[in-house]
Amino acid sequence: MATIDQVHTHHVSIPFERPLQTGNHVYRDLENVLIEIHADGLVGIGYAFNFAFRQAAAIRLLVEDLAQSLIGKKVEDVRGHWGAMWRQLNFIGQTGPSAMALSVVDTALWDLFAREQNMPLYRLLGAVRSEIELYPTGGFLADPIEAVIEEVLRHRAAGFRRCKIKVGRPDWQSDVKRVEQLRAAVGDDFGIMIDANQAWSVVDAISAGRRFQDLGVCWFEEPVSVYDVPGTARVADALDMPVAAGESVFTRWGHLELLDAGACDVLMPNLMRCGGPTEFMQIGALAAGRHIPVSSHTFTEISAHLVAAMPNATFCEYLPGWWEKLFNEEQKIERGMFHLPDRPGLGLTFSRDIIGKYGRDA
């Protein structure tokens, strides 16, 4: 039984080639908080991200605080470690940066435990499948529609069956026009998904949603504020196309509120907000009890292991170019399918070159 003996963290700030605009934000840098937990020669990894340097620095401090309490502990007590860290965060609360920090450490612990067992994580968790369908996300609001069409056609040619683009302008009719142009370019047999990033009121989301579903849109993500659960339920009830939500809520209790309200047709937990793999799998079980499918948000390389072990899970989000450089290993993606690696744990190691080039550890 391996014993945790060292912990190392890094802050890696990677600039985007161009600013990325959603209905609520403009992103210029990808701020990553990394952890490596060592135990008897094995190393487990985890990471979280945001888009603000000081916020990432604060998360890193919380990660270090939680991880230091694990020194000398046995690797395999993963759920026990999660519970101890949860109690450790009680005074300052277990959402926001606290949940992100907990998720980073929990991810590394599961990776480490699977490595100790010499098994890929998805098999340790009880695999349902070894391949996961991906959908690429792109089409940000500042991108001209010509560039969006070119991007989506490129994904279709590579074998993807669906793509997600951003909507959420104050004038929602301009977003409808963009989707009309995209639909005309890609044809009726390709899945168009949209993400409003909480930008609209309930009335506008329903009005826009009715136009979008007439265009064959197959997914409407975060139409209104994450705090307006009854409003999200109103949107879901008013539309025939699936409404997806969950990426911006924390822990199983946030997702349970969505499920209890009937506020989504697809539940999409985010690994770093939900509480790590420990909590992700419990959220999946809650959704299964309501006959609701699960589709993960970001963290493709890690979330795929969890989706592969979840009977009611569907596909994973994929953001091309965001994290590939962070890892030494190249992921196998063919015809829109992510092929899970047979390597132990997550099958990933952090690139020292990228840490050296973009690290903000000084």
Instruction: Tell me, yes or no, whether 294 and 198 share the same domain.
Output: yes
Distance in angstroms (rounded) separating the CA atoms of residues 267 and 255: 8
CATH of the domain at 292: 3.20.20.120
Q: pLDDT at residue 231 above 70? A: yes
Q: State the Cα torsion 99-102-104-110 to the nearest 10°.
A: -130
- In a domain, residue 232? The reply is yes
Tell me whether residue 123 is exposed, middle or buried, using C-beta atoms within 10 angstroms of its C-beta: 0 to 12, 13 to 18, 19 or more.
middle
What is the enclosing helix (H) or strand (E) of 134?
A: strand 131-138
Share of the chain above pLDDT 70, in %: 100
- In a domain, residue 294? The reply is yes
Q: pLDDT at residue 109 above 60? A: yes
Q: pLDDT at residue 77 above 70? A: yes
Kindly give the interhelix angle for 78-88 and 53-68, rounded to the nearest 10 degrees.
120
- In a domain, residue 276? The reply is yes
pLDDT confidence of residue 321:
87
> Each residue of 275-327: pLDDT tens digit?
999 999 999 999 999 999 999 999 999 999 999 999 999 999 999 988 889 99
List Cβ neighbours of 359 (8 Å cut-off, separation of 6 or more): 10, 11, 12
Q: What is the mean pLDDT of the chain?
A: 96
Instruction: Tell me, yes or no, whether 279 and 257 share the same domain.
Output: yes
Instruction: Tell me, yes or no, whether 254 and 156 share the same domain.
Output: yes
**Helices assigned H by DSSP within the chain:** 53-68, 78-88, 97-116, 121-124, 145-157, 172-186, 202-214, 229-238, 251-260, 271-274, 276-289, 300-307, 352-358
- In a domain, residue 346? The reply is no
Instruction: Tell me, yes or no, whether 212 and 283 share the same domain.
Output: yes
- In a domain, residue 226? The reply is yes
pLDDT band at 126 (very low <50, low <70, confident <90, very high): very high
> Each residue of 253-278: pLDDT tens digit?
999 999 999 999 999 999 999 999 99
Q: pLDDT at residue 344 above 80? A: yes
Q: What is the distance of C-alpha 80 from the center of its chain?
A: 24
Share of the chain above pLDDT 90, in %: 93
Instruction: Tell me, yes or no, whether 129 and 114 share the same domain.
Output: no
> Each residue of 193-220: pLDDT tens digit?
999 999 999 999 999 999 999 999 999 9
> Each residue of 150-191: pLDDT tens digit?
999 999 999 999 999 999 999 999 999 999 999 999 999 999
pLDDT confidence of residue 23:
80
Q: In what order do the strands lie in the sheet with 26-39?
A: 4-21, 26-39, 42-50
pLDDT band at 362 (very low <50, low <70, confident <90, very high): low
CA 248 → CA 203, 205, 316, distances in Å?
Answer: 21, 18, 16
Scan for tokens 């990471």, then name that residue: 47
- In a domain, residue 331? The reply is yes
Instruction: Tell me, yes or no, whether 153 and 99 share the same domain.
Output: no
pLDDT confidence of residue 56:
96
pLDDT confidence of residue 18:
81
- In a domain, residue 246? The reply is yes
Pairing mode, strands 26-39 and 131-138: unpaired
